[in-house]
Structure 1
């Protein structure tokens, strides 16, 4: 099946068949891609696995399952492909899909420079051009979890996973989303209501993020055939730093700025 077949992966250069939020987010990320992303991608590809805006090592924040060797993994919203690279070095067979062709161009350049090869698809992670039960692990680190509609991509992850397969995603915490203003860093003040929280649009209309509170997310996972196994609320390490301006260390030492969710596809 071709990754550019209409209604499944990408739908051509104009993206005419893509949902409106997918088109808007594609324009955003294609416009953002530049020298900073390339430099950051190279550093991520060269490093050992680490997670989130605070770059917490896998040994301290276990996102990957213990044993990746010989397992089929899909990264939903893979960006520049660094999670796939880490998985490949651990013996997995990764596939990456991303909405931004320019991000994927950087990923392909990194594949060439680091001597790693794995499939990279330009498309919408809400509809992936792979058959049912193709993967053992589906992962999203601030990828599909933030930029795709959860009511579309989580059932799609369930479809892609084999019985007993694992879904792992790293996202901004609900509390952070409630406390982040339109510009600047989160403060000790709620900026938006939690009830009804779902689709969060930027003030200038260029970006669409998604954030489900814990209750709706748990129900969505259950209704999609998952069993929730763990939820890790992330505290920033002492003396950590980040390049991002929407959260600072003082805030993230007191409250969770990120969450790691781990769920397993029902064996039935």
Structure 2
């Protein structure tokens, strides 16, 4: 890994140690206790989106899993997940909640750009507000492809490109105007935070195809009418997200011909 990217990764790791201490450790308790999967800041139910399908018996790798609540939901649905995250603090929270709530599944400390798992170990790779925002897509998408068996699926959620264009340069909540150029949003280093990636739709399609994927769907997620602002992740308000998509949920399949 080039020195510059190593420094960025270390910055993000340090940021998530602080985030875990201040916010996500407490929030994870509620997420682990949820009876069914939801997506994103405003908890859009998976049953309404139907992007995962039947996961029973599937080998799943969750990249940038954070406190691994999504892997817990998948395990309860019959999958065999492995949760991978860069932050030891986040994984410590996941381990505590495994003991408290169950079920047990492997927790692996590792970078989504360099995953310490074998080639072709997964039927499904998933990342919910993880790898897509915090990892270089030119690095983590080929890793996702490497982990998948031919015909396997990749499902990931990230901030909408539009929201990234509307957040002030000094951070804050998205406004009702464009505040940065489209190309500027590809890679953003926040003054008081980490380094994030917000490719355009065209960039995502190009990078997914280069890694061997066929794009199946792009779901733009809005805040439901009754939603309140997120408790701590304040990139968009609920009011903003009722008018414009706050998040993007991508679904892609690894092209069997591209891998074999």
8 Å CA contact 2:164, 2:185 repeated in 1: no
8 Å CA contact 1:51, 1:61 repeated in 2: no
Question: Which residue of the partner structure matches residue 10 of structure 1?
Answer: none
* 3-state SS of paired residue (1:221): helix
Question: Which residue of the partner structure matches residue 152 of structure 1?
Answer: 139
CA distance in 1, matches of 2:152, 2:15: 32
Deviates more, 1:220-229 or 1:115-124: 115-124
| Distance 1:18-1:121 versus aligned 2 partners, 3 A rule | farther
2:52 paired with 1:59: no
* 3-state SS of paired residue (1:121): strand
* 3-state SS of paired residue (1:170): strand
**Cα deviation, residue 258, structure 1:** 0.5
**Cα deviation, residue 184, structure 1:** 2.6
Question: Which residue of the partner structure matches residue 83 of structure 2?
Answer: 96
2:254 paired with 1:254: no
Question: Which residue of the partner structure matches residue 171 of structure 1?
Answer: 158
**Cα deviation, residue 220, structure 1:** 0.6
Task: After superposition, give the CA deviation of every residue in 1:25-84 in whole Å (9 maximum; x if it has no partner).
Answer: 001111222263222111101102111000111122334x21100000001000001000
* 3-state SS of paired residue (1:44): helix
- Given the alignment, which residue of 243, 254, 259 partners 1:265? 254
2:162 paired with 1:193: no
Question: Which residue of the partner structure matches residue 143 of structure 1?
Answer: 130
**Cα deviation, residue 239, structure 1:** 1.5
CA distance in 1, matches of 2:23, 2:223: 23
* 3-state SS of paired residue (2:256): coil
Question: Which residue of the partner structure matches residue 74 of structure 2?
Answer: 87
Question: Which residue of the partner structure matches residue 77 of structure 1?
Answer: 64
* 3-state SS of paired residue (2:185): coil
- Given the alignment, which residue of 19, 23, 26 partners 1:39? 26
* 3-state SS of paired residue (1:19): helix
**Cα deviation, residue 198, structure 1:** 1.7
CA distance in 1, matches of 2:90, 2:167: 26
TM-score normalised per structure 1: 0.90
Task: After superposition, give the CA deviation of every residue in 1:73-128 in whole Å (9 maximum; x if it has no partner).
Answer: 00100000100000000000000111110000000001101131111111111111
**Cα deviation, residue 21, structure 1:** 1.5
TM-score normalised per structure 2: 0.93
- Please report the RMSD computed on the Cα atoms of aligned residues, expressed in angstroms: 1.6
* 3-state SS of paired residue (2:152): strand
CA distance in 1, matches of 2:182, 2:99: 44
2:94 paired with 1:107: yes
**Cα deviation, residue 18, structure 1:** 7.3
- What is the number of residues matched between the two proteins? 252
Deviates more, 1:181-190 or 1:164-173: 181-190
CA distance in 2, matches of 1:27, 1:160: 26
What are structure 2's unaligned runs of at least 5 residues?
A: none
